[in-house]
Each structure stands twice: as C-alpha cells, then as structure tokens.
Structure 1
Amino acid sequence: METMTIGRAKLTWLNGGVTHMDGGAMFGVVPRPLWSKKYPSNENNQIELRTDPILLQLDDKNYLIESGIGKGKFSEKQLRNYGVFEESKLDQSLAEVGLKAEDIDEVLMTHLHFDHACGLTKYENNELVSTFPNATIHVSQTEWDEMRNPNMRSKNTYWEENWKPVKEQVVPFDQEIEVADGLRMIHTGGHSDGHCVIKFDDGEDKFIHMADLMPTHGHQNPLWVLAYDDFPVTSVHVKKELQDEAYSSNRWFIFYHDAIYRALKFDDEKKIAESVEREQYPYE
C-alpha cells in the first residue's frame, strides 16, 4: 500500500477493488486518438479505474475518503459489464495498518454513485448492514436527496442497498463543511448535482481530491469531462477554477480512480513535478 504525509495528514491507499469502464464514456466527446495518448485502454476499449478508498489519519482520527466497490454486491452480468476483475479487500488493507472497519470515525463521500458507495454496506448473514458502524458519513444534501429519489437516468447508479442500511449515520451538509481543522468538503455539482471535492490546508502543505471532476491524470485538460456527467458545462467551469487554484497554491492532487498515480503535483507549466505511483497488485 502507498502512503504519504501532507502536513498533519497521513494518507494510505487501501484496496477497494477495480472497474474497467468504456474509454469513450470516460472521456466524453474527446476522440480516442487523443485520450489514448494520456491513459491506456485494453482490447475492449476499456480503461482501468481503481476504486481505492484513501485512509486519512488526521489529529488522532481515522477518516475514509470514498468507500470502494465492496464485496458480493454485483451480479455476474454487472461484474462483466463493469469490468470488476477484483472486488474490495478493505478489511485486509485496514488490518495491515492495525485497524478494523469499526475504527473508522468519519467517511467523506464526494458523491454516491455505485462505484464510490457500494463499500458503505456489506452482507452479514444474508442481510445488508453498515460496513463502518461507528462512522459519521458526510455527503452533500443535494446528493443525499437524489440518492434516495433518483430520476430515470440516475437510478442506474444510485442503489437503494447502498443507502438504506446507513441512513442513520449520514449527516448531509449544504454548500461546504469543515470536517476538521483545514479539512473541507465543498459542493461543486457537475459530475452529479451533489458532487463535492475535498480540500486540505495545513500551512504550505495542501491537497485536493477532485473526485470525478478529474478522476485520473489523463483528465487534466479542463475540457475533458465524462459522458457520465449530468452537467458537463458545470464540470468544465468548476474544474478549471479548482485546477487554477490548486496549481497556484502548489497543491497535491490525490486520486481514487487512477490506476497509475496515487498523487501528483504539477509545475508552473502544468507538467508533472512530483508523483506517488501505484504499486501493481496481481488480480486473484
């Protein structure tokens, strides 16, 4: 597992599983000859997208950014269609750092699409229960409302089994919340109406998790947004605004989906200056 320290924050990437989604959908209107130079694809035109939660240890508390895809949550058809070659091994990852799921104090959910939220619940004696029973779950009010009342498009990604068992743990917020000193969740919209990003500031040490506004390093171009985005024009504008601030303040970009990099920092020419690369784990 990869670990890095940014100011007071220690980040550790856990094994939350993987999906392989259509590259065309993940890069929207961008032609394949362009995006394929930035991010590799397989023979089925799918790109590897990790779903690895980030354990954030800050001021003696254990936070989790996103929740992974869980285990035993997909049908055979879904496993095939979503390219799930590996399901979550979250318990094993936590054990490697001396923790259990019960030790997670707060879960920070940028949004609740299935590839981010399936790990919130698990099967226990054929019943769905909370994976993190002692945690407060933070998500925007807009996202929480749509999760429980999806429209005909979003019902394919907002699954009842991912929210009902944890509804008593969810504490939604409006536009912004400071979860801890210097750690903020900010509602952006774009990818989903309730999508959020996470920022951390500790003096000169800073990071941003842009979630699905910039799911991989291949999506650095502010115009390259997903066909899955509900509000792509919003995505373009808010993405550029967030990136410009991050570049000017020398923030680390941290990733949940990127199969190559865990974290990146860019120079004045917006080229990679520092990186934390992902170790390659063989599929079981």
Structure 2
Amino acid sequence: MTTRPAVLITGASSGIGAVYAGRFARRGHDLVLVARDNARLEALAARLRQETGVAVEVLPADLTRHGELATVEARLRNDARIGILINNAGIAQSGGFIDQSPDGIERLVTLNTTALTRLAVAASARMVDAGEGAIVNIGSVVGLAPELGMAVYGATKAFVLFLSQGMSLELAPKGVYVQAVLPAATRTEIWERAGIDINTLPEVMDAGELVDAAMVGFDRREAVTIPPLHVAARWDTLDATRQALLTDIRQAQAAERYRIAV
C-alpha cells in the first residue's frame, strides 16, 4: 500500500487552513497543524483524529517570531514524512496606505512574504532531494488589482504569485509541484482581525467551496488556480500578453518614445 505524504498546514486553526486540514485528513494524509492558537489547534486535531483516524500533530507557532518560525523551518527540512506544504498563514490590514503603522506593515510583510518564503525554501530543498513533493502558496486576487485599495496587502499577494511562478519554473523539472491559489473575498476571520466588516463586501465565497475548488486545481497540477474566475481564458490571455511583452523588451536601447525631445 502506498503511504500518503504528511501535510504541514500553516494558519490551520480556522478558515481556509482548517478546511484544508479536514480535506486532506479525509484523503488519508497525516497532518502537522501550525498556528498561534494552541487550544483551537488541539480541538481541531482531536476532532480530525476521531473522524478520520489519521495522525494529527499540533505545532503552535507565531510565524512572525524568528525563533518560532525557525522551529517550523527545521521541521520541514528534517521530517521526510512531510510531502506537502500548505503555506496559508496570512493577515490583512484595513485603511489606506498612509494609514498603515510601521509595526503593522512589518508584521504584515513578515507573515505574508518572509515567513512564507522561508518555509517554502525549507520544504523545497528536501523535496528536490527526494524528487517529489508539493507546495501550495495561498495568494489573493487582490495581488492583481491595485484598484481595490489594499496597497500593502495586495503587494504581498502579488509577491506570492510571482514567487510561486518562479518556484514552479525552477522546481517542477525536479519533481516538485508548486501551486499558487488566488482566492477572492472568502468567509474567514481575516476580515474581522483586519477591522473590516465582511458584511460590507458584495460577494463572499465560503471557505469550503474555495478549498474544494483549489484542490481540484491541485489534483490537475495547475500552476495558478483562481477559484472565482469563471472565464479561464482570461487568465491565459493575461499570461500570454505578459510573455509577449517580454519579447518586446530590448534592453540595449531606450524605447523610441523616450528618445524624442519634448
């Protein structure tokens, strides 16, 4: 019988992370659940053990704290049973760009980009050696839309998309699958924690529906999965246009329009 790889999930105590935990547990994967709230992790772990019979370990950690992040990195580097990383932990902030506090910006960027990247590096190095594995990075459609007015948050999510695409180009030939998942507004606690009333948002997806769609993309080995995008060709067109742009960039000379005296 084939042994299924264990799955390490960050931000696992609620919302998207907790749903991922349930879905993978029902597929027969053992779990390592990471989040700050130990009590909620333990309650989720107990329920999943009882309902599915898989082994569920709790690893409490605040990924914005260097020492606690390092503990999770070490686990990913050294535990050969972990074959899937769900890089889900993240936060948002309300208010305009000039309303952001320095400490708030640092925490947001640390969790959404630095911690995510460090965990991905820790996992991928071992996965490349094994010639197999999967890393799922949770981004957001906000990373495609500065018009939504969440400049810092959106920038971190644009980073996640770019990083995932770069990782995929480098790691896929070595046997490691990388998926970027781009949700739109999803019914989770991230909004309340950011001081945003979710009831003011026009359309909000249920976390279960989001994860179920993302896992269809996972099974299909999509590089980028956008669950709320109904016309898939629009993403294909955007990506093709981006690649065409690259062929038009001639680095040796400035474009003609910039070499004409005004």
Q: TM-score, normalised by structure 2?
A: 0.37
Structure (1 or 2) with the larger CA radius of gyration: 2
1 or 2, which has the higher helix percentage? 2
1 or 2, which has the higher strand percentage? 1
Q: TM-score, normalised by structure 1?
A: 0.34
